[in-house]
Structure 1
Amino acid sequence: MRFPLFVEAVARRAELPTDEAATVSRAVLQTLADRITADEATDLAAQLPDDVGGYLEPGGTATTGGAVDFLYRVAERAAVDPAVAEVGAVAVLATLRDTVTVGEFHDLVAQLPKGFDAMVDPIPRPPYDV
């Protein structure tokens, strides 16, 4: 999935204009990279096309704080209202969930604080054969 397709999926989910969805997507990915370990950012980026995974370059120092702090950082980075940042973050995480393997998405979510639970849809489970 190239970045324009990723953005289209985010725009649809978040009901945002494409330009705003692109800005928010970049901000969410960059803020995630600041939040997770460099190894996890590298693993996640490896499952994404270069033009999407490139935004997961760690910024140097990991940030801490809960989901609210994360959303304010996204809002500041994207120059949008925190409510738009939240809708966008949920859409980006859902698009990531559909794009990478279940194991990789689980590894990403495992590094996020508990407050992120409301922003992350449940991880799909494989159907069981009876």
Structure 2
Amino acid sequence: MNYDTFVDQVARRTRVDSERAVELIHATLETLTERLTGGEVLDLATQLPTPLQLVLKPTPSTEAADRFGAAEFVARVGRRAGIDEMAARDAVRAVFTTLREAVSGGEFDDMVGQFPRDYREMVEPALAPGASVLRRA
């Protein structure tokens, strides 16, 4: 999936313009970088367009995953994007669904495997039948 398609899909899913979609994508990916191990961040980044790879850059401080739950994930995305909890949860779902379409199923499964059960509500929409209808353009 190319960068423009990724942004367009998130914009469509969140019903915002492309500029705002980029902000939501960055907020979610930056938070994801904190939540995943550095190796998983790199694995995920290799399957994404270059502008998104630049957001998913692990640092020595992010090599080990910061273990926080889904509520904290949403709160961090909300703070980064300047939105409330409900909008942040919708943004995370939209980015996760688009990630699922953009990367291999195995890579998405590896990412999800690092999440505790409380992430299920945000991840399940990406795994639902028909979620990949827009797969790789």
Q: Bin the TM-score by the shorter chain.
A: 0.7 to 0.9
Q: Which runs of 5+ in 2 are unaligned?
A: 130-137
> Aligned partners of 2:75, 2:17: CA distance in 1, in Å?
20
Matched, 1:116 2:119: yes
Give 1:4 deviation, angstroms.
Answer: 2.9
Give 1:65 deviation, angstroms.
Answer: 1.7
CA RMSD of aligned residues (A): 1.5
State, as a whole percentage, how many aligned pairs show the same letter.
Answer: 40
Matched, 1:35 2:39: no
> Aligned partners of 1:29, 1:90: CA distance in 2, in Å?
12
Give 1:123 deviation, angstroms.
Answer: 6.5
What is the TM-score with the length of structure 2 in the denominator? 0.83
> Aligned partners of 2:74, 2:29: CA distance in 1, in Å?
12
What does residue 96 of structure 1 align with? 99
Q: Give the partner amino acid of 1:117.
A: R
Deviations 1:79-118 (A, max 9, x none): 1222111111000000000010000000000011211111
Give 1:35 deviation, angstroms.
Answer: 0.3
Secondary structure (helix, strand or coil) at the match of 1:39 reads helix
> Aligned partners of 1:42, 1:110: CA distance in 2, in Å?
15
> Aligned partners of 1:22, 1:10: CA distance in 2, in Å?
8
What does residue 6 of structure 1 align with? 6
What does residue 17 of structure 2 align with? 17
Q: How many pairs align?
A: 124
CA contact (8 A) 1:2 1:51 kept: no
Q: Which runs of 5+ in 1 are unaligned?
A: 125-130
